[in-house]
Amino acid sequence: MSFSRKTKTVKLILDLFENTSNALSVVELTDTFSKKMNKTTVYRILDRLEEAGELHSFTDKDGLKRYAKNFSKLKGLNEQANHPHFMCQDCGISSCLPIEVSAPSIPNYTINNSEHLYIGHCNECNN
């Protein structure tokens, strides 16, 4: 297993992800925990949590890596199923969408992985 010790810093981050289903960037997390842990620690913990399957990640439009809890835990959806991500151009929140997306088949190409990112206005910012 790639993360073995439940340190206090790991617990803090795990707790945070228990309480949000949004996708958070390292920048947001280091800011939130600036008094509690070093930024390098945040990077390393997220790495390990992803390895361990607790979190998953994607790269947003700005090139920032964002993490969210494993989607199967979030919606009871098939863990294998690929889902898209959303980012609100007003408030900046980012989230996993409970939808299945599929990749097309291209002659002579193999597609192993697909990333779908939608940008627009969230329900909060819409009305």
- Binding region for DNA (CB under 7 A): 2-10, 25-27, 36-41, 43-45, 47-48, 63-65
Q: Which option in Mn ion, its own copies, DNA, none does residue 80 bind, with CB closer than 5 to 8 A by kind?
A: none
CB atoms under 10 Å from CB of 117, counted, come to: 15
Q: Which is nearer to Mn ion, 9 or 14 (CB)?
A: 14
**Quick one: which of 65, 74, 75, 81 contacts its own copies (CB under 8 A)?**
65
Rounded distance, CA 14 to CA 3, Å? 12
Identify which range of 2-10, 19-27, 32-40, 83-91 contacts Zn ion by CB under 5 A. Answer: 83-91
Using CA atoms, how far residue 124 sits from 24, 77, 120, in Å, is 18, 24, 12
User: Distance between CA atoms of 117 and 119, rounded to whole angstroms?
Assistant: 7
For its own copies, give the closer residue by CB, 18 or 124.
124
Nearest of 36, 76, 37, 74 to residue 54 by alpha carbon: 74
Instruction: Select from 2, 7, 59, 78 the one that contacts its own copies (CB under 8 A).
Output: 59
φ, ψ (nearest 5 deg) of residue 40? -60, -35
The closest residue (CB) to Mn ion is 96
Minimum separation from the CB atom of position 51 to its own copies (A): 17
The structure tokens 């409970």 sit at 98
- Whether residue 86 contacts residue 97, with contact meaning beta carbons closer than 8 Å, is answered with yes
Residues that bind Zn ion (CB under 5 A): 88, 90-91, 122, 124-125
Residues that bind its own copies (CB under 8 A): 59-65, 84, 86, 89, 97, 99, 101, 103-104, 106-123, 126-127
